[in-house]
Amino acid sequence: MKPWILFAVVSTFFAGATSVLAKAGLRGISGELGLVVRTAFVLVLVMALALPSVARQEWTLLDRRNLAWLAASATATALSWLFYYKALRDGEVSTIALIDKGSVIVALVLAWLALGEPFTIRTLAGAALVLAGVLVIARG
Model confidence pLDDT, tens digit, residues 6-65: 998 899 899 889 999 999 999 999 999 999 999 999 999 999 999 999 999 999 999 999
Contact 84, 15 (CB under 8 A): no
State the pLDDT at residue 98. 87
Return the percentage of the chain with pLDDT > 70, whole number: 99
- Both 61 and 110 in a single domain? no
Stretch 75-104: mean pLDDT = 92
Residues constituting the chain: 140
Q: Residue 78 contacts by C-beta under 8 Å, 6 or more apart in sequence? A: none
pLDDT(1) > 70: yes
Structural domain including 8 reads 3-89
Per the prediction, the chain carries an average pLDDT of 93
Domain assignment present for 38:
yes
Give the pLDDT band (50/70/90) at residue 94: confident
Domain assignment present for 95:
no
Domain assignment present for 96:
no
What's the domain count of the chain?
Answer: 2
- Both 61 and 118 in a single domain? no
Domain assignment present for 42:
yes
DSSP 117: P
- Both 30 and 68 in a single domain? yes
CA pair distance 85, 35, nearest whole angstrom: 7
